[in-house]
Chain A
């Protein structure tokens, strides 16, 4: 297990470095004077000079990169167009998106995993076709469209739920009211993916020799499926989860936009629309770092769950 984790951490570090380089180069690739971009479009020569000095723009690229990275690691991501600390903005908005993400994952797991198991166990029967069909539709429906429709029906027509906005956790009930539709919308797409992965994984497990052995031992079908097959499938699924996080981030961006939630995702779009390059840079960097770290955590969980890795 140690060896596995060391290798995964090493890989993650490499990826982080490369990703940060990409972000760094990306900002430098913006047409025009980088000082203007990084200085949030302030063309005051004094400010420009300060920006140039801060980011060492007159030095060779590798030096710039090293400096920029050292600043970033210490939490200094610069200031945006409104002279607000980028890092601070991100930190305040991130928990909102995290809450959305966690709720969505919860919804998706609650629906997707049992659906996938049932579909696999009843393969070829009507419930399998039904579940698979629903999952296919779930994959094909752009969930932001679903969100729009839900707003129309539940908020505008029925007045059951608020159309938009966010309320902090200090008011848990109101918070939930506002988060319900967004997490259903974001969770729906994820649920569809999970269901299909789970079904496919269960089918593989159910076809494995050890399931035949379990049946030959006279174990009840419930035990065969619920213990022997399911345990293996769930472990396999974790490797897939990490990859889905990227889709979740993309989904959060749109969901927050539609539902008017001022989270990290929304921040991304606002940054582009305002052409706030420092903010964009900070946001993209944090998103990438977040993804890599999250995947590493998934790797850790996986190594704990899989006996073949836990005990060489």
Chain B
């Protein structure tokens, strides 16, 4: 059994704000194997983006991060800044949600991709340019020679995201973290990007952490899924098992909220909402965070925090009343 590529142990992130602390992530643990695609799912504010950025310490200074992030056995959270920068962009790369603002508007595409190559691989300008061209072809951008000297504002949203991906893959990283890569794009473009990600995993063997609020995206690409709620892990399992046998009432609610207009029987059923709202993150939970919105809530859920248990093979839930109904 090869050890996992990435091991996150008890990750906690706390923000120090005007009105007190906000506990964005609370004792989150998960692993990522080489070549695996892990989907992290949850609604806005559940802590998934914060988690992803905490891995290489990309959070602002107001964030207090606890726990361990073991990458190839080394704890990234304890690494010196200099060595951390050797990991960023080289071993672990990022693709962010908004390609327009994530690319620097005053530098050309070729320059921005070349920058990573020159920094990490020590390539000359000419060599970097050639490799950048290759990368643009890898992400299937048409007429790449011309695109190299274009500025971000000259490209469409989908193409910009491909550029971001090319930039992230430049040094052949072991892990690609994609934070809502398709959310800002048109639906028709989304499919193309997801195809590309599948392609990358197959051809390059890159492990991917895909963060999204869209379960459809996860179903398409991921091997395993982690469902987050209010900064904690609610459920984790292989993707097929999650969709076939969801255990946590929140997951079930999320699945029920997916519009399925073309299914036959009961196609006209109402979209199920999950009543209530996400709880305040200002205090650490002393009970199940989902209790207020859960139809299965009882005395136990309201007084104790549920711990993660394996209820099916390789399928974990943090719930006192897991089950499909």
Contact = CB atoms under 8 A, between A and B. Distances in A.
A240 to B, nearest CB: 17
Interface string A197-238: 000000000001110111111111101000010011001000
Nearest to A229: B104
Contacts of A214: 104
A212 B96 contact: yes
Contact of A308 (B81, B102, B120, B153): B153
A174 B167 CA distance: 56
B119 to A, nearest CB: 6
Contact of A307 (B88, B102, B106, B164): B106
A-side interface mostly: helix
B304 interface: no
A42 interface: no
Interface string B67-82: 0000000000000010
A212 B164 CA distance: 13
Which of A215, A218, A221, A306 has the most B CB atoms < 10 Å from its CB? A218
Contact of B58 (A216, A219, A220, A228): A216
A308 B101 CA distance: 13
A217 B116 contact: yes
A215 B53 CA distance: 11
Nearest to B150: A311
B11 interface: no
B88 A218 contact: yes
Given A217-B115, A217-B167, A218-B85, A212 B103 contact: no
A221 B93 CA distance: 17
B103 A210 contact: yes
A210 B119 contact: no
Interface in B85-133: 85-90, 93-94, 96, 98, 101-107, 115-116, 119-120
A308 B96 contact: no
Contacts of A223: 119
Interface residues of B, number: 29
B56 interface: yes
A218 to B, nearest CB: 3
B154 interface: yes
B88 A217 contact: yes
A311 B151 contact: yes
A301 to B, nearest CB: 14
A214 B58 CA distance: 11
B115 A212 contact: no
B168 to A, nearest CB: 8
A10 B285 CA distance: 63
Interface residues of A, number: 22
Contact of A216 (B86, B94, B98): B94
B105 A307 contact: yes
Contacts of B116: 217-218
A218 B90 contact: yes
A217 B104 contact: no
A218 B104 CA distance: 15
Contacts of B105: 210, 232, 307-308
Interface in A270-312: 306-308, 311
B98 A209 contact: yes
Of A210, A228, A307, which is in contact with the most chain B CB atoms at under 10 Å from its CB?
A: A210
Contacts of A220: 85
B106 A231 contact: yes
Nearest to A308: B153
Contacts of B90: 218
Given A213-B96, A308-B153, A232 B104 contact: yes
Nearest to A305: B106
B123 to A, nearest CB: 14
Given A212-B58, A219-B115, A228 B151 contact: no
Contacts of A308: 105, 151, 153
Among B105, B151, B153, B164, max chain A CB count under 10 A is at: B105
A268 to B, nearest CB: 40
Nearest to A123: B61
A218 B167 CA distance: 12
A209 B152 CA distance: 13
Nearest to A214: B104
Contact of A219 (B89, B101, B107): B89
A210 B109 CA distance: 13
Contacts of B96: 209, 212-213, 216
Contacts of B153: 307-308
A217 to B, nearest CB: 4
Nearest to B60: A207
Of the listed residues A212, A216, A223, A232, the one surrounded by the most CB atoms of chain B closer than 10 A to its CB is A216
Q: Which 8 A-B pairs have the closest CB atoms?
A: A218-B89, A218-B88, A217-B89, A209-B101, A216-B94, A210-B104, A307-B151, A209-B102
14 contacts: A213-B96, A213-B167, A214-B104, A216-B56, A217-B89, A217-B93, A218-B85, A218-B89, A219-B115, A220-B85, A231-B106, A232-B105, A232-B106, A308-B105
Given A213-B104, A218-B119, A311-B151, 9 more contacts: A210-B101, A210-B105, A213-B96, A213-B164, A216-B96, A217-B93, A217-B116, A218-B120, A219-B89
